[in-house]
């Protein structure tokens, strides 16, 4: 069944094993609109039973072009692929709640930041799995009664080494750390007007170095939130019909993974990927409806149009512009690769 999820199909059938619709192989489908058009690479990244996966959570691409995939399978949680989809290395069994994955350059090396919902911590590690530093619940700041209330979803990083931890599954705070990892300040949460199940993923937008911002994917809220580095609200970008879980910037465009188009009311609704321009206007939807704005500049409701995706949770792009997508609650699927046309 895993291999079937790597093809494009036109006719649907039911999969009783996974409970989701799959389709029989027919004609390759092209996703997207305008200049953002992609085609799935069948079979990319599919491995054998020696390397099973569960939920797909995080994806990054390192400087060598390796695709690094984070899953919460108890047997292996970090899978490193080459650009052809062959397994290079795997490691990790200590992250049962593996969720967020970021890659950061520190001098001459690249490091990974992982978040774990079940162990309530953030970890910095080398690419091959050596743990360098850990952060647990912020006991001293008076916002948490115990460790279980802290459930970090992702980390956002500035060029100077500072980073922000999003407590997206806990109390919705955003924790600012300096380059040494020391906690600088805490903002957000309910008193900061952050809706629960809100700050899931995102990035530090440093296109204007004098005025860096946080661009946050607000899960289940159908919008992106813009904040200054002190938590002040700068605005929001409505994405009606979407459910943004992560945002990645690539060559001047923002790519947004939408978990589904009717989640959580319909947990089998499928999701899609949006492409936004430098002004944060949607210019294409991969596996979704063509974006349309009304005469007042309001984006019309978007929705899934293709069975290719099932709960996109994160995405990454390589130097050639190929797109990789990790999927949550999708029947234990490996990452999807799409070539840009």
Cα of first residue to Cα of last residue in the chain, in angstroms, is 27
Q: How many residues does the chain have?
A: 341
**pTM score, two decimals?**
0.92
- C-alpha distances in Å from residue 250, one per residue of 47, 233, 275, 277, 308: 28, 24, 10, 10, 22
Question: For the chain, which domains are there?
Answer: 3-340 (2.120.10.30)
pLDDT tens, the chain, 341 aa long: 333 333 333 223 223 233 333 333 455 699 999 999 999 999 999 999 999 999 999 999 999 999 999 999 999 999 999 999 999 999 999 999 999 999 999 999 999 999 999 999 999 999 999 999 999 999 999 999 999 999 999 999 999 999 999 999 999 999 999 999 999 999 999 999 998 888 999 999 999 999 999 999 999 999 999 999 999 999 999 999 999 999 999 999 999 999 999 888 898 899 999 999 999 999 999 999 999 999 999 999 999 999 999 999 999 999 999 999 999 999 999 999 999 99
- C-alpha distances in Å from residue 152, one per residue of 45, 108, 111, 169, 306: 28, 27, 18, 6, 31
pLDDT value, residue 7:
35
Positive or negative torsion for Cα 259, 260, 261, 262: negative
Counting Cα atoms < 13 Å in the Cβ hemisphere of 9 gives 16
CA gap 98, 85 in Å, rounded: 22
What SS3 class is residue 89? strand
Tokens for 234, please give them: 């700068």
Counting Cα atoms < 13 Å in the Cβ hemisphere of 266 gives 13
Q: Which residues pair with 108 in a beta bridge?
A: none
């Amino acid at each position: 069944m895993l291999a079937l999820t790597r093809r494009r199909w036109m006719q649907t059938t039911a999969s009783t094993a996974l409970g989701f619709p799959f389709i029989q192989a027919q004609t390759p489908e092209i996703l997207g609109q305008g200049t953002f058009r992609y085609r799935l690479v069948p079979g990319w990244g599919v491995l054998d039973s020696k390397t099973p996966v569960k939920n797909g959570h995080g994806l990054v691409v390192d400087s060598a072009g390796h695709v690094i995939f984070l899953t919460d399978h108890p047997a292996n949680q970090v899978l490193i692929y080459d650009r052809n989809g062959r397994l290079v290395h795997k490691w990790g069994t200590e992250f049962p709640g593996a969720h967020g994955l970021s890659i950061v350059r520190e001098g001459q090396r690249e490091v990974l930041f992982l978040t774990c919902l079940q162990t309530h911590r953030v970890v910095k590690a080398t690419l091959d799995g050596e743990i360098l530093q850990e952060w647990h619940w912020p006991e001293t700041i008076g916002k948490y009664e115990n460790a279980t209330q802290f459930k970090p979803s992702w980390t956002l990083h500035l060029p100077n080494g500072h980073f922000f931890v999003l407590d997206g599954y806990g109390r919705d705070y955003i924790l600012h750390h300096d380059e040494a990892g020391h906690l600088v300040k805490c903002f957000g949460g309910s008193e900061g007007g952050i809706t629960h199940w809100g700050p899931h993923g995102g990035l530090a937008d440093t296109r204007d170095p004098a005025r860096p911002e946080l661009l946050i994917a607000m899960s289940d809220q159908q919008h992106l939130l813009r904040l200054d580095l002190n938590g002040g609200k700068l605005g929001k970008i409505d994405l009606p019909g979407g459910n943004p879980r992560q945002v990645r910037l690539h060559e001047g465009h923002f790519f947004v993974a939408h978990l589904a188009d009717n989640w959580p009311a319909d947990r089998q609704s499928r999701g899609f990927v949006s492409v936004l321009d430098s002004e944060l206007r949607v210019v294409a939807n991969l596996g979704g409806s063509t974006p349309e704005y009304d005469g007042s500049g309001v984006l019309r409701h978007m929705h899934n149009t293709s069975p290719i995706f099932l709960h996109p949770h994160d995405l990454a792009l390589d130097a050639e512009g190929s797109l990789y997508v990790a999927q949550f609650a999708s029947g234990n699927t490996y990452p999807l690769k799409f070539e840009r046309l």
